[in-house]
Structure 1
Amino acid sequence: MFQLGKTIVSEEIIEHDFVCNLTACKGACCIDGDAGAPLEDKETEILVDIYSKVKPFLSPEGIAVIEDQGAFVKGEDGEWETPLVGGSACAYVIFDERSIAKCGIEEAYNQGKITWKKPVSCHLYPVRIREYTGLTAVNYHKWQICDPACALGNELEVPIYKFVKEALIRKFGEAWYAELEEVANEYLK
């Protein structure tokens, strides 16, 4: 671990390679698991505000869950998260013609209907953020369903921190990311 400002960063995001391989995993991170995508407090308000614009992109099952439970729910850990369909799939998930899970929020964004891409936790994946008093932990979340992404990242030689560059900048800013790159360059020597 190393510290950048008020963040503690795991070396694993420098050491390990990763590039999503949706053809292999079919977007399993959006449909497997027992909790929704983690949400920041301000993102709960955004989800409520954009719901009417995102709704046309969602599945009937997702719409039913959101309209029953709300645009976000309190998870078992007491944190905000997206609601789930059937206890596993994110309510905002949609499927393309190849049965690959994608984000309905991101689809609305890609089509210019909203200006918010998706929850930052989804954008950052496989990086997970954990807030502590005075510090934020930045860690790599290993999950077997992402083995194809690790293999592709290895083949393409793309470290995790480069794969999620846009999301890390979105979360922590350009200066923080530039400092991370400096640390990574030194670390890899």
Structure 2
Amino acid sequence: MFQLGKTIVSEDILGNDFVCNLSACKGACCVDGDAGAPLSEAETKILESIYPKVKPFLRKEGIAAIEAQGTWTKDNDGELGTPLIENGACAYVIFDGKTALCGIEQAYNQGEIDWKKPVSCHLYPIRVKDFTEFAAVNYDKWEICDDACSLGKELEVPVYKFVKEALIRRFGEDWYLELEKVAQEMKK
């Protein structure tokens, strides 16, 4: 672990390789698990405002879940997240054949909205936990992503480079440049 500004960063994001391999995993991270994608308070407001434009991109099961639970949920621990449909899939998930994709991102790609998707989804496999004085930046190793780890190793792409755009979105370009310096120092 090392400190970078007001973040405590796991060295695992520098020392592990990762490139999403949708052809192998079929987007399993959007359909497996026991909770929706983590959201910030600000993101809940965004989801409420963009839902009418995202709704046409969603499946009927997702629309039903959102209309029953809301555009976001709060779990027993007070954590905010995307709602889930009965089988555990994110309510915003859509499918291209057998591959899970994000309906929010599809609306973004079609120019309907200007918000790509929740930053926690954009950052995956990095998870950020905000505390009062700092944010913890960790690598979330999940066996469903083993193919992504293999592809990342083959292509020699460390986790932090794979999620560069998302890290800049979350922490800013200066923070990312500092992270790159740490990564270069660690290589020596």
TM-score (norm 1): 0.98
Structure 2 matches for 1:1-150, cutoff 5 A? 1-97=1-97, 99-150=98-149
User: SS of 2:130's equivalent?
Assistant: strand
Distance 2:71 2:17 in 1: 33
Which aligned segments of 4 or more residues in structure 1 are displaced greater than 4 angstroms? none
User: SS of 1:89's equivalent?
Assistant: coil
| 2:126 partner letter | V
Deviation of 1:71 after TM superposition, in Å, equals: 0.1
> Would you say 1:155 and 2:142 are equivalent positions?
no
Q: Deviation per CA, 1:42-90: give whole Å up to 9, x if none.
A: 0000000000000000000000000011000002331110000115100
Distance 2:116 2:94 in 1: 15
Distance 1:94 1:112 in 2: 17
> Would you say 1:168 and 2:167 are equivalent positions?
yes
User: SS of 2:49's equivalent?
Assistant: helix
Distance 2:132 2:112 in 1: 36
Root-mean-square deviation (Å): 0.6
Q: Deviation per CA, 1:78-136: give whole Å up to 9, x if none.
A: 11100001151000000003x10000000000000000000000000000000111100
| 1:58 partner letter | L
User: SS of 1:139's equivalent?
Assistant: strand
Distance 1:76 1:170 in 2: 28
Deviation of 1:175 after TM superposition, in Å, equals: 0.2
| 1:106 partner letter | E
| 2:103 partner letter | G
| 1:149 partner letter | A
| 1:112 partner letter | G
8 Å CA contact 1:34–1:87 kept in 2: the answer is: no
What are the ranges of 5 or more consecutive residues in structure 1 without an aligned counterpart?
none
Distance 2:184 2:86 in 1: 44
Distance 1:159 1:77 in 2: 32
User: SS of 1:94's equivalent?
Assistant: strand
Distance 1:23 1:88 in 2: 21
TM-score (norm 2): 0.99
Distance 1:27 1:65 in 2: 20
Aligned length: 188
Distance 2:112 2:138 in 1: 32
Distance 2:12 2:67 in 1: 39
